[in-house]
Amino acid sequence: MASKNTVGYNRSMLFRLFRHFVFVKQKIDDQLRSKYYERFIRLYQGQVGKNLWVRQNGKIHITKGGKLEIGDNFILGEGADLFVGREGNVKIGDNVFIGKNSTLVANGSVSIGSGTQIAHLVTIIDSNHKFSDPNKPLAHQGGDVGKIFIGKDVWIGTNAVVLKNVEIGEHSVIGAGSVVTKNVPLRTVVAGSPAKPIQK
If you average pLDDT over residues 3-13, what whole number do you get?
65
Q: Label residues 59-73 b or e (16+ Cβ within 10 Å = b).
A: ebebeeebbbebbeb
Q: What is the CATH number of the domain that holds 164?
A: 2.160.10.10
Q: Tens digit of pLDDT for each residue in 55-95?
A: 999 999 999 999 999 999 999 999 999 999 999 999 999 99
CB < 8 Å & 24+ apart, contacts of 82-86: 84/60
Instruction: Decide if pLDDT at 3 tops 70.
Output: no
Give the pLDDT of residue 1: 46
Domain, as residue range, for 155: 4-199
Counting every residue, how long is the chain?
200
* DSSP three-state, residue 22: helix
Higher per-residue pLDDT: 39 or 133: 39
Tens digits of per-residue pLDDT, 138-172? 777 777 899 999 999 999 999 999 999 999 999 99
Split into its structural domains, the chain has a count of 1
Q: How many angstroms from the chain centroid is the CA of residue 124?
A: 8
Q: Distance between the two ends of the chain, CA-based, in angstroms?
A: 69
Nearest to 166 by CA among 148, 152, 190: 148
Which are the catalytic amino acids?
A: 129
